[in-house]
Amino acid sequence: MALQGFGGVLGVVHRELVERRRWLDEQAFAGDWATAQVLPGPNVCNLALMYGWRQFGVAGALTALGGLLLAPTLLLLLLATLLSQVESWPLVRGAIGGLSAVAAGLVAGAGLRLGAGLATHPLGRWPASALAALALAALLGARLPMVAVVVLVGVPACVLTWRRLRAPR
């Protein structure tokens, strides 16, 4: 999966775990992804560790992480060696600059996919969407650090969701 996800593997992981293999539903994936994001370290590695651990314990966690990282690490070492020889070429500099737009598109597409899970969020689509918009505004508009956004928006969102889940039906 990691070799298919240049610039961000979230879309590939979502497609594999939710759409293709159906190991997780949208809501479980969104919850696991949210947890992976607030933990230190690369998000998709955190997700692989959590899912591998849940399914097969320590061996599953290590296998999932190794499977995710081994091939891309070898490819990265090869490409870094090659890039060091050609990085001053104008064509290479232009290509690398253009890839930033592609990476932004990949992240935006993954965000839209995750937004589909808001339809079944315990708070409801609109309150959950409002919290997502508030977090985005805090990150992009107010330029708050991610840790501050997790504390200011994430913690209240968790409390509201927890209360909703505990409320009698």
Rounded to an integer, the average pLDDT of 73-78 is 92
Question: Could you tell me the two tokens for 150?
Answer: 């997790």
pLDDT at 148: 92
Question: Could you tell me the two tokens for 160?
Answer: 């509201």
Q: What is the dihedral of CA 54, 59, 64, 67, to 10 degrees?
A: -170
- pLDDT bucket at 101, cuts 50 / 70 / 90: confident
- Classify the C-alpha dihedral 6-41-34-30 as positive or negative: positive
- pLDDT bucket at 115, cuts 50 / 70 / 90: confident
pLDDT at 7: 52
Q: Determine what percent of the chain is predicted with pLDDT higher than 90.
A: 46
pLDDT of 40 above 90: no
Residue appearing with tokens 């992480």: 65
Integer Cα distance of 46 and 11 in angstroms: 15
- pLDDT bucket at 110, cuts 50 / 70 / 90: confident
Integer Cα distance of 22 and 25 in angstroms: 7
Q: Are 87 and 93 in contact (CB under 8 A)?
A: yes
pLDDT at 8: 64
Rounded to an integer, the average pLDDT of 46-54 is 94
Record the pTM. 0.52
Per-domain boundaries in the chain: 2-120, 121-169
pLDDT of 42 above 90: no
pLDDT of 74 above 90: yes
pLDDT of 46 above 80: yes
pLDDT of 20 above 90: yes
